[in-house]
Amino acid sequence: MNMISDVYHAYQLVHSQGIPDDRIIVMHSDDIAYDPLNPTPGVIINAINGTNVYEGVPKDYTGNDVTIKNFFGVLNGDPELIKHGKKVIKTNANNQIIMFPNETLHAKDLVNVLGELYKQNKYDQLVVYLESCKSGSMFANLLPNDWNLYALAATQPDEYGAQYSYDFSPRQSFLATYFSTIWFQNADQSDPERETLDTQFQYIAARPDVWVPYQVGDETWCLNVTQHPQQYGDLSIAKTRTVSQFMGPLSQNGLNKDIKQDIIIEKCNLTIDQDIYVFLAQKRIDLTVDTNEKQRYQDQLDGLTRGREYVDKVLYEYVNSIQHLMPNIATNAILNTNRELYNRECYRKMVDTFNEKCFNLSKNTYALHKVHVFINICETLNGRTEVWESAAKQLDNCENNTENEFIEMHSELQPLLAKNIGHNSHPITNQSDRKSCNLINRLPFSFWLTPVWIYCIY
C-alpha cells in the first residue's frame, strides 16, 4: 500500500493548497481501497492512525489504463486519449509542470520523452520527483542541465530505499515510504511561499539514516537503512523557485500533523539487516497458535525460499556457461558485484530477454533484484561481438528452463506477508534502465506499480 498511499497523500496536499482537480492527473490501479483484504473498506492511510487519504482522489486513469503508453500520452497530449475523454497535459512554454512517474520504465525512454517535451516548448519549467530504490540511476549521466528541468531522486544510483510505518495490525502492511514521509513532514512544517525547492531537498538530505520501527507482537523492532536523495538537471530552478510555485500557495492541510513522524531510535530494541519479509514471515509462524495456519505460513515461506534458490541456480548456470568469454573474471564476481552501466544497448537486450523468456520481472521480483549480473556481463565484454553470443546463451538457458511457472508462485506470498493488496506488480526500471524496488534494505521481494500524479500550473 505504501507508495500508492504516498500518491494519495500527495494529491490531498496539493489539492488542499489550491490546485484544482482539472490541473491534476492521477494514475493509480485503484484496487486497494475496496479489496476484500483491506480491513477498513474505502479507507487508506499513510501513517499509523492517519487520516483517510483515499477520499476524493480523482480516477483519471485506473486499472488497465495505467500503462507507460498512456503515461507518455498524458505528457504528450495524445489526441487519442482526449478523444476518449481522458485528461492529458495541454501546456505551452508558459507552464510549470510537476510530475511523479513510476511503472515499467527504461531510463533512456523517460529522458527521451522529457527531452521531446523540452524541444516542443511544452513547459517553462518542469520538476520531477522520482522515488524507488536506485532512483538516481534514472537520471545520472543522462539528464542534461539545460532543459529547464529539475529532478529529485529519492536515492543514489546504487542505493536502496526504505518502506516506513509498518502497521502490524490490522493492515499488516507498510503504509508509506521513508522518502515520502520526510517529504510530507517538511510540507507540514514549512511555508511553501518562502521555502525553495533546494531548501526542501536539503531538509530531506539532512535525514539520511532511516530507522524503521515496526511491531512484532508486543515488541518494537527496528531496521536501519541509509538513503541519500539526489538532484539532477537544472539546479538553478531549485535555488530560485519556491515550493508554492509548483505546488500551490495555500497553507498545508497537515493530514498527519498529529502523527509523530520523527523516528524514535530508543524504542527499537533490535536492529536487523536481514530480509525483513522472511523475518516477518518467521515471526508469523512463531506467533501463530493455530496449527493449520502455522503450517500454511511455513509452506509459503518454504516456497519463497525455494524460489529464490532456483533463481540463483539459473543465474549461476548461465554465468558458468559463458565463463569462457570472460576468463579473467570469476563467476562469483559477475554474480555479486555492481558495476556502473555504460553499454546500455547490450544491457537492455539482455534484461528484456531475461524478462520475456526467463522470469517475468513484474512477478518474480527476486529475479528483478539480480539484473546487475547483466550490467557486469555487458561491461566486462564492453561492446565485443561475443556479447551477442552471451545473449544467445541466455536465451537457450531460459528456453531449457522448465520451472518458470514454479518461480512465479512466490508472488502469492505478497498478500500474506505484506498485505500490499490488490494492485498490479510492475516495477519502475531504474539502475541504468531496469532495476527497482520499494523495499526495506536489500529486500528482493516486493515491487509494485506506483501511481502517477501530474499537475501543471497555467
pLDDT of residue 269: 38
pLDDT of residue 263: 43
Going by C-alpha positions, the residue among 446, 398, 454, 389 that lies closest to residue 423 is 446
**In contact, 451 and 7? CB cutoff 8 Å:** yes
Do the strands 219-226 and 271-272 form a parallel or antiparallel pair, or are they unpaired? parallel
pLDDT band for position 454 (50/70/90)?
Answer: very low
Q: Kindly report which listed range (205-214, 283-292, 375-384) carries the lowest average pLDDT score.
A: 205-214
**In contact, 150 and 171? CB cutoff 8 Å:** no
Given a cut of 60, is residue 253 above it in pLDDT? no
Q: CA 13 to CA 80: how far, in whole Å?
A: 30
Given a cut of 80, is residue 448 above it in pLDDT? no
When pLDDT is averaged across residues 420-434 and rounded to a whole number, the result is 33
- Cell 555479486 found at: 336
Q: Kindly report which listed range (90-99, 302-311, 374-383) carries the lowest average pLDDT score.
A: 90-99
pLDDT of residue 55: 95
Given a cut of 60, is residue 180 above it in pLDDT? yes
**In contact, 155 and 133? CB cutoff 8 Å:** yes
pLDDT of residue 308: 85
Return the number of other C-beta atoms located less than 10 Å from residue 458's C-beta: 10
Which residue did the predictor score with more confidence, 101 or 331? 331
Return the number of other C-beta atoms located less than 10 Å from residue 129's C-beta: 21
**In contact, 361 and 430? CB cutoff 8 Å:** no
Domains of the chain in sequence order: 2-273+427-457 (3.40.50.1460), 283-415 (1.10.132.130)
Q: What is the largest CA-CA distance in the chain?
A: 65
Partners of residue 152 on adjacent β-strands: 129, 231
**In contact, 105 and 137? CB cutoff 8 Å:** no
pLDDT of residue 357: 81
When pLDDT is averaged across residues 382-398 and rounded to a whole number, the result is 77
pLDDT in tens, 64-84: 898 888 999 998 899 999 999
Given a cut of 60, is residue 146 above it in pLDDT? yes
When pLDDT is averaged across residues 350-357 and rounded to a whole number, the result is 84
Going by C-alpha positions, the residue among 108, 47, 117, 44 that lies closest to residue 77 is 117
pLDDT of residue 415: 37
**In contact, 73 and 80? CB cutoff 8 Å:** yes
pLDDT of residue 219: 63
Given a cut of 70, is residue 121 above it in pLDDT? yes
- Amino acid letter, 456: C
Q: What is the pTM of this model?
A: 0.74
pLDDT in tens, 13-70: 888 888 889 889 999 889 889 988 788 999 999 988 899 999 999 999 998 898 888 9
